[in-house]
Amino acid sequence: DAKTTQPPSMDCAEGRAANLPCNHSTISGNEYVYWYRQIHSQGPQYIIHGLKNNETNEMASLIITEDRKSSTLILPHATLRDTAVYYCIASGSGNEKLTFGTGTRLTIIP
């Protein structure tokens, strides 16, 4: 799996959009970008994944740059329940080993 780099922490005001960046400059052509989050004392939770097109689901949007070297996870209207550690993972398959880094600790401020 390609290495990913994320900022260790970010704050976002409640109700605003939270934009979480991820660098994956060595990602290979067949590797997808997956995002998971982990709320305190819980297991990680899948959010979204994509290859090269932008993706949106009920939880978030994923924007991948054209050269695929970086991506941004967008939570459009952050709530206090979005406070968690967010992991960006590059992997060739969703059901193989996920290589988690240390992630970004997102704190939503009331």
Provide, rounded to whole angstroms, the least separation between the CB of residue 29 and another protein: 13
Q: Which is nearer to another protein, 15 or 92 (CB)?
A: 92
Residue type present at position 4:
T
Residues found near another protein in the complex (CB under 8 A): 32, 36, 41-46, 49, 87, 92-98, 100-103
**CB 92 to another protein: min, Å:** 8
Cα 96 to Cα 1, 28, 65, distances in angstroms: 10, 16, 24
Minimum CB distance to another protein smaller for 41 or for 67 = 41
* Distances 77 to 13, 14, 24, 27, 64 between C-alpha atoms, Å: 9, 7, 26, 29, 20
Instruction: Give the nearer residue to another protein in terms of CB position, either 25 or 93.
Output: 93
